[in-house]
Structure 1
Amino acid sequence: MRSGMHRRSDRKHEGQVASSVLRVVLVASEMAPWAKTGGLADVMESLPPALRRLGIDLRLILPGYRQMLKAGIPTESIQTGFHVWLGPQRLAFAVQRIRTETGIPIDLIVREDMFDRPNLYADSQGDYYDNAERFVFFCKALAVWLQTWDIVPHIVHCNDWHTGLIPVLLQSIPAFQSSATLFTIHNLGYPGLFDADKFALTGLDPNRHYRPDGLEFFGRWSMLKAGMFYSRAVSTVSPTYAREIQQQEYGRGFDGVLAARSRSVVGILNGVDYAKWSPERDPHIAANYSRETLSGKTACKADLIHRCGLAADLQEQPIVGIVSRLDTQKGVDLILPILHRLVRQLGLGVVILGTGDKTLENQLTQASDTYRRRFAFIPKFDDVLSRQILAGADILLVPSRYEPCGLTQMYALKYGALPIVRATGGLNDTVVDADAEHETGYGFKFDHADPQQCLSAIDRAASVYRQSPERWKSLQHRAMSMDFSWERSALEYQRLYRSLINNNTT
Structure 2
Amino acid sequence: MKILFATSEAHPLIKTGGLADVSGSLPSALAHYKHKVRLVLPAYRAVMERLPEKSLKQVAKLSVGGCGREFEAVIWQLKAGAVPGVDVPVWLVDIPALFDRPGNPYLAEDGADWWDNGERFGVFSKVVAELAMDRAGLQWQPDVVHVNDWQTGLVSALLSVETQRPKTVFTVHNMAYPGNFPHSLFAQLQLPESLWNLDGVEFWGHFSMLKAGLICSDWVTTVSPTYAKEICYPEYAYGFEGVLQKRAAEGRLIGILNGIDEHIWNPEVDELIHSRYSAEKGRVAGKQRNKAFLIEELALLNGLSETRIQGHLADWLQAPLIGFVGRLVEQKGIDLVLEVLPELIEQTPANFVFVGSGHKSFENALRDLAQRYPERMWVYIGYSETLAHQVEAGADMFLMPSRFEPCGLNQMYSLAYGTPPIVHHTGGLADTVVNATDENMLAGTATGFVFYDPSRFALKSTLLHALGLFAKKRSWQKLQKTGMQQAFGWKASAQRYLALYVED
User: Which whole-Å CA distance do the structure 1 matches of 2:36 and 2:274 have between them?
Assistant: 41
**Residue in structure 2 matched with residue 107 of structure 1 by the alignment:** 91
The Cα shift of 1:104 comes to 2.2
**Residue in structure 2 matched with residue 303 of structure 1 by the alignment:** 293
Name the amino acid aligned to 2:487.
Answer: D
The equivalences for 1:62-461 within 5 A come to: 62-70=41-49, 71-72=51-52, 74-75=54-55, 77-101=57-81, 104-119=88-103, 120-123=105-108, 124-146=110-132, 147-148=134-135, 150=139, 152-176=141-165, 179-206=166-193, 208-262=194-248, 263-292=251-280, 293-294=282-283, 295-309=285-299, 311-312=312-313, 313-435=315-437, 437-438=440-441, 439=443, 440-461=445-466
The Cα shift of 1:126 comes to 0.7
SS at match of 1:417: coil
Given that residues 325 and 356 in structure 2 are in contact (C-alpha distance below 8 angstroms), is that contact kept between their aligned partners in structure 1?
yes
The Cα shift of 1:80 comes to 4.8
The two structures, once aligned, show a CA RMSD in angstroms of 1.8
User: Which whole-Å CA distance do the structure 2 matches of 1:322 and 1:77 have between them?
Assistant: 41
The Cα shift of 1:76 comes to 5.5
**Residue in structure 1 matched with residue 305 of structure 2 by the alignment:** none
Given that residues 349 and 375 in structure 1 are in contact (C-alpha distance below 8 angstroms), is that contact kept between their aligned partners in structure 2?
yes
Distance 1:334-1:159 versus aligned 2 partners, 3 A rule? same
Given that residues 225 and 428 in structure 2 are in contact (C-alpha distance below 8 angstroms), is that contact kept between their aligned partners in structure 1?
yes
The Cα shift of 1:158 comes to 0.6
Deviations 1:39-66 (A, max 9, x none): 1111121111111111212112211222
User: Which whole-Å CA distance do the structure 1 matches of 2:16 and 2:397 have between them?
Assistant: 26
User: Which whole-Å CA distance do the structure 2 matches of 1:80 and 1:495 have between them?
Assistant: 31
User: Which whole-Å CA distance do the structure 2 matches of 1:393 and 1:68 have between them?
Assistant: 32
Percent of aligned positions that are identical: 39
Name the amino acid aligned to 2:89.
Answer: P
User: Which whole-Å CA distance do the structure 2 matches of 1:305 and 1:58 have between them?
Assistant: 42
Distance 1:57-1:255 versus aligned 2 partners, 3 A rule? same
Deviations 1:28-47 (A, max 9, x none): 11111122211111112111
When the two structures are aligned, how many residues end up with a matched partner? 475
The Cα shift of 1:373 comes to 0.7
Deviations 1:208-260 (A, max 9, x none): 43333222222322101101110001011111111111111111111111111
Q: Which runs of 5+ in 1 are unaligned?
A: 1-21
Deviations 1:323-373 (A, max 9, x none): 111111111111112112211112211111111110011111111122221
10, 21, 29: which one aligns with 1:31: 10
The Cα shift of 1:75 comes to 4.7
484, 488, 493: which one aligns with 2:492: 488
User: Which whole-Å CA distance do the structure 1 matches of 2:87 and 2:365 have between them?
Assistant: 47
User: Which whole-Å CA distance do the structure 2 matches of 1:181 and 1:407 have between them?
Assistant: 25
TM-score normalised to structure 1 length: 0.90
SS at match of 1:164: helix
User: Which whole-Å CA distance do the structure 2 matches of 1:213 and 1:205 have between them?
Assistant: 14
User: Which whole-Å CA distance do the structure 2 matches of 1:340 and 1:80 have between them?
Assistant: 58
**Of 32-41 and 211-220, the range deviating more from structure 2:** 211-220
Name the amino acid aligned to 2:494.
Answer: A
Given that residues 160 and 217 in structure 2 are in contact (C-alpha distance below 8 angstroms), is that contact kept between their aligned partners in structure 1?
no
Name the amino acid aligned to 1:484.
Answer: F
Distance 1:76-1:465 versus aligned 2 partners, 3 A rule? closer
User: Which whole-Å CA distance do the structure 1 matches of 2:61 and 2:392 have between them?
Assistant: 50
Name the amino acid aligned to 1:187.
Answer: N
Given that residues 39 and 90 in structure 2 are in contact (C-alpha distance below 8 angstroms), is that contact kept between their aligned partners in structure 1?
yes
User: Which whole-Å CA distance do the structure 1 matches of 2:2 and 2:298 have between them?
Assistant: 49
Runs of 4+ more than 6 Å apart: none
**Of 378-387 and 354-363, the range deviating more from structure 2:** 378-387
TM-score normalised to structure 2 length: 0.90
